[in-house]
Amino acid sequence: MPDPFLENKDRQDIHTVSLLVANKPGVLLRIALVFSRRGFNVESLVVSSTLDGRFSRMTITAQGDPTMLEQIVKQVGKLVDVIHACEHQDSHAVEVELALIKIAVDQERRNDLLTVVRHFKAQTVDITHDSVIVQVTGGTEKLDAMVEMLSEFEILEIVRTGKIVMARGRETT
């Protein structure tokens, strides 16, 4: 089963934006509207609280023109509840994604499946008589490669978090 997340995507056009925002109702909607009005498709969105509960960190992965994205980041940065907004480049940040993959597998093929799981340093998080749920973390390319390798099995379901990002060193995310 092909992963719809991978279809028709040129990874060169994928951008990762990090926002530090006030942890208030309606902030997410206002930010999503800025992307929508400019014709950007949000590929993934991860929101979590920071150490200081008054703020949340948003990581948005979007596809589109880099010049337009620069305008979007500036416009989002001007919103009242946005404290900081920036696009992250791969070389200056650590980007990680998590996926849960449910695979139908019988006893005869289970060892073959577990070999793939070990190769990608993934973990089994659930095993039944006829299925396995695997958890894998890493860069998008690693997850894409694992899904490709698992395509020889019957993939029942995939859930991906989207990227989370943190600036390297002492630089602020």
Query: What does the pLDDT look like over 41-86, one tens digit per residue?
Result: 898 999 999 999 999 999 999 888 888 889 999 999 999 999 999 9
- Contact assessment for residue 153 and residue 101, using Cβ atoms and an 8 Å cutoff: no
- Per the structure, the complete domain to which residue 83 belongs is given by 11-88
Mean pLDDT on 5-31: 80
Residue closest to 17 by CA, chosen among 71, 83, 55, 69:
69
* Predicted confidence (pLDDT) at residue 6 exceeds the cutoff of 80: no
Tell me whether residue 173 is in a domain: no
Strand runs labelled E in 30-161: 41-49, 55-63, 82-88, 93-104, 123-127, 131-138, 154-160
Q: What percent of the chain has pLDDT over 70?
A: 92
Residues 156 and 98 in one domain: yes
Domain boundary among 88, 116, 145: 88
Question: Taking the model in full, what pTM does it have?
Answer: 0.80
Query: What does the pLDDT look like over 83-102, one tens digit per residue?
Result: 999 998 767 889 999 999 99
Residues 128 and 158 in one domain: yes
Tell me whether residue 82 is in a domain: yes
Domain boundary among 88, 106, 122: 88
Residues 112 and 63 in one domain: no
Q: State the average pLDDT for the chain.
A: 90
